[in-house]
Amino acid sequence: MTTQLAAAVPALRTEGVIGLIAPAGPAALDVEKAGQWMRARGHELRIFPGVYERDGYLAGSDEVRLRDLHAAFADPEIDAIFCLRGGYGSPRLLDRLDFDLIRANPKPFVGYSDITALHLAINRYAGFVTFHGPMLNADLLGDKQQPTESSLFSMLRGQLSECSALAHPVAYPLTTIEPGVACGRLLGGNLSMIAAVMGTAFEIDAEGIILFIEDVNEPLYRIDRLLTHLRLAGKLAQVAGVLVGDVSGVDKAALERLLKQTFEPLCIPVLSGWRSGHCDPNLTLPLGALVRLDAGEQQLVLEQDVVFKP
């Protein structure tokens, strides 16, 4: 297992300020509804300028989106950073990120899908835990069912600590693809994004990790192709275990056959069906954190604190 662990970040404080940025695609935002939603949960919402912009399939130019991301990390009044949506464009920012600035201002950073590229980069070069979790527009304002919201805020506020098992709703049964127990850093996110940054300075460091994957709108043959890409690149042989999130639009039985074919030769624990990703509910996961995966008992347990109270 890789010994360098991601550091915990400051917990979201009571009445803390949440910064909203759009580092990927654009989306129409009901500003009044968003503000009311946050105030009802005890937080002020500060919307960064790029949220209001649109540049084709991007939420503003690269310069605008990068400026907002840096400004949100640099602002001492911002306690946590939420992303408006995923979509497209996050990888365009990677080689322009100021990791010295980000490293000096650790705080919860939340998003998924295209935001995976930023998670991989921040974890690798800034060295702190980030959160694969719901985004404001589609998930939180979209009224996704519990425990979408409670999973997010319990983690950010420090209600889960070392040795806490992450709860999974019983209404959505998990599937043990391969039993076993493994400990490692939880890394990954959107499978297409993980593959997209392979061969770059931002590719996933897979040594000893618990690999988390999810995806949407990808037929089974493309999921196969993406997993094969990671296998041929030597990444799958390095991982200690695999947690499979939601793979929307793919037949469950066919996906499980593919996962069995892919991972059985590696003799590592594999647990499938975790409700995280493009799904409802959408549970929050701490990327970079040390976890213990027990695929047979269908448990995921924190092996470190992911936030701390200053």
Catalytic residue annotation: 113, 214, 278
Tell me how far apart the alpha carbons of residues 2 and 22 are, in angstroms, rounded to a whole number: 32
Tell me how far apart the alpha carbons of residues 46 and 30 are, in angstroms, rounded to a whole number: 14
Let me know if 234 is exposed, middle or buried by CB neighbors in 10 A (0-12, 13-18, 19+). exposed
In order of 54, 247, 279, the CA distances from 256 in angstroms are 39, 11, 18
Helix (H, G, I), strand (E, B) or coil at 51: helix
Q: Backbone dihedral region of 188: left (phi > 0), alpha (psi from -120 to 50 degrees) or beta?
A: left
Alpha helical stretches, state H, the chain: 31-40, 62-74, 99-104, 116-125, 148-156, 191-196, 220-232, 252-263
Tell me how far apart the alpha carbons of residues 136 and 133 are, in angstroms, rounded to a whole number: 10
Helix (H, G, I), strand (E, B) or coil at 101: helix
Closest Cα partner for 151 from 171, 175, 131? 131
Closest Cα partner for 230 from 254, 201, 205, 255? 205
